[in-house]
Structure 1
Amino acid sequence: MVSATVVAPGPAPIRPSVQLPAWLEVAKPRLIPLLLATTLGGMALSGGGSLSARTIACTLVGGSLASAAAGVLNCLWEQDLDGRMQRTSRRALPSGRLAQRQAFALAIGLTLLSVVVLVFGVNPLAASLSLLGLCSYVLLYTALLKPRTSQNIVIGGVAGAIPPLVGAAAATGALGWSSWWLFCLVMLWTPAHFWALALLLKDDYRSVGIPMLPVVKGVLVTTRAISHYAWATVAFSLLGVLALPSGGLLYGLMVLPFNARLLQLSSQLRRDSENPQRAKAMFRWSIFYLFGICLLLLLARLPQAALLGPELLNVQRAMLPTLVG
């Protein structure tokens, strides 16, 4: 869903255009690291004991394979659409650098390998959830919702929210309420993240009739919706203090600057909605934000976190008079 360059008047490319090997390009490898980060976040929220390196490795490898398979199937489904957009016309399938038969075989192979790794290296629940994420991305979002409703990412975001459940299942073999908290947090985070990108790509979406929110409702409505979801994300993120089995105080203190920056950028975008640089900044920070949340969850589970949290609180209290003055 994120392309190599952004073709729109004004904004610079979101990232440099680099042509990957065809088989790797269709797997959309740039999307995988954030999915793995939320998987680790789901593991961190588990109240169980320490995980073996083998379990962690199999979970991450299996999740990567499933994500790659979903990317290939997405490219197969949208190859005609990609061929009609300037931004995506040079992708592997519409340009003919990779044959449909090869891509389909790659997708099937990646899916089967993912299931094998997760079933035998982790557990059947983790494998089932990973397969559910794959199917929800390809069938629910790509095939059903994306071409039909401007709220496609609100509902279809479930695909990107499943990795925390996979991580929790890998850690404990069950899904506690804390894993569902991270699932819901990612669901709330997704619209603000994706609509910021959609603002940059709205002309492309309009040209092929994809009803993304900026195309259907306009820029002002979209930036207002981004602001609302940013506030919802920030409010819900604070529940991580309760979701963590330990280290919640450290997480609660360290998440504040992440939240402040997210709200600042969403507010700037709402006030200056026609400035593509604002949308780009919001999009980029939203990625860093979710990485940061997952990193904080991991740090909060360190043994030192229980001691460090109160010390940070004392530092904050000591600095407060200076900041106010």
Structure 2
Amino acid sequence: MVPSRKRVKLPPWLEVAKPRLIPLLLATTLGGMALTEGWPLSSPRLVCTLGGGALASAAAGVLNCLWEQDLDARMARTSGRALPSGRLSPTSAFIGAIACTLTAAMLLVSGVNCLAAGLSLLGLCSYVLLYTALLKPRTPQNIVIGGVAGAIPPLVGAAAATGHIGLGGWWLFALVMVWTPAHFWALALLLKEDYRSVGIPMLPVVKGPVVTARAIHRYGWATVLLSGFGIWALPSGGIFYGMMLLPFNGRLLQMVNRLGSDPDSLPGAKGLFRWSILYLFGICLLLVLSRTSQASLFDQQVWSLVTQLQTG
């Protein structure tokens, strides 16, 4: 059993919405916004985008729980969840998911634009149908392909800000895609016996910890390398972003290398999993901070200093 902190018991209707996943999805949505010339958004548009995104994510979480309720009932770790334990009926959960989906669509169409609404619903469908139903039970590469669902919020943010998806939005989409395997496989190392017990072919179950740690190492380095392109993806504040990025990447590589040297270490996997969450939050925070006037002034001062040094 993996040690974990005691969690607050949520009401059944809220538990199935997986609210702990929503803040990071909204953070990447904000990151997608900050990468556009449309930043900052008006308050109504911002609220509608984040509200619609949160509701779409909640709907996806509920539908995921509905699809996997039989699997959850067979695992000790998840058998006490709202649906397998009977604390919430499948009918009530399904009605809630439909209500969240319709409300999200209404908010995004009326308060933002159709592109943002369509992308948000695409993210919902890709999580439930592509990842949960199709890939997760069939291939150890499920999260590599299925990670597209978690990478769509930056596109929603970019679309909300400008009505189209620019280079910055696609860059953050790609970054989340390459970040996801290392993040999720670290968790899968902790839960591999649970996955094995129900026949889910996660990479640690199929290939073992050593191969998984090597894969995490590759994707960790890919994340670090790709994160640097944010310097050019940002409309302004790129130098500030690049300098503030260094400690985040240094810590990520440290955690990845530590796990690589001891693939069977549960504390190493747990530490990497937790840090990877903070890492992505940090990237999105840096993107927002890089669009401030102070960051732009910092960039100007750096360029001025470089020019002075070049001219002697």
The answer to whether TM tops 0.5 is yes
Residue number in structure 2 paired with 1:247: 237
Residue number in structure 2 paired with 1:295: 285
Identity rate, percent: 70
CA shift at 1:18, angstroms?
2.6
Residue number in structure 2 paired with 1:19: 9
Note the 1:100-111 alignment, pairs <5 A.
100-111=90-101
Give the gaps of 5 or more residues in structure 2.
306-312
CA shift at 1:139, angstroms?
0.1
Distance in 2 between residues matched to 1:235 and 1:97, nearest whole Å: 46
**Structure 2 vs 1, CA of residues 64 and 277 (structure 1 numbering), >3 Å: closer, same or farther?**
same
Letter in 2 for 1:152: N
Which 4+ runs in 1 deviate beyond 3 A? 309-315
Deviations 1:180-235 (A, max 9, x none): 00000000000000000000000000000000000000000000100100000000
Asked whether the 8 Å contact 1:250–1:312 carries over to 2, the reply is no
Letter in 2 for 1:41: G
**Structure 2 vs 1, CA of residues 212 and 102 (structure 1 numbering), >3 Å: closer, same or farther?**
same
Distance in 1 between residues matched to 2:287 and 2:224, nearest whole Å: 15
Residue number in structure 2 paired with 1:112: 102
Distance in 2 between residues matched to 1:280 and 1:173, nearest whole Å: 39
Note the 1:36-185 alignment, pairs <5 A.
36-48=26-38, 50-185=40-175
Question: Secondary structure in 1 aligned to 2:293?
Answer: coil
Distance in 2 between residues matched to 1:270 and 1:312, nearest whole Å: 37
Q: If the length of structure 2 is used for normalisation, what is the TM-score?
A: 0.96
Asked whether the 8 Å contact 2:34–2:40 carries over to 1, the reply is no
Asked whether the 8 Å contact 1:253–1:313 carries over to 2, the reply is no
Asked whether the 8 Å contact 1:69–1:108 carries over to 2, the reply is yes
Residue number in structure 2 paired with 1:283: 273
Question: Secondary structure in 1 aligned to 2:247?
Answer: helix
Root-mean-square deviation (CA, aligned residues, Å) is 1.3
**Structure 2 vs 1, CA of residues 194 and 306 (structure 1 numbering), >3 Å: closer, same or farther?**
same
Asked whether the 8 Å contact 2:22–2:54 carries over to 1, the reply is yes
Deviations 1:228-265 (A, max 9, x none): 00000000000000000000000000001100000000
**Structure 2 vs 1, CA of residues 314 and 166 (structure 1 numbering), >3 Å: closer, same or farther?**
same
Question: Secondary structure in 2 aligned to 1:304?
Answer: helix
Q: Does 1:235 align with 2:229?
A: no
**Structure 2 vs 1, CA of residues 29 and 313 (structure 1 numbering), >3 Å: closer, same or farther?**
farther
Q: What is the number of residues matched between the two proteins? A: 305
Distance in 2 between residues matched to 1:306 and 1:122, nearest whole Å: 28
Question: Secondary structure in 2 aligned to 1:268?
Answer: helix
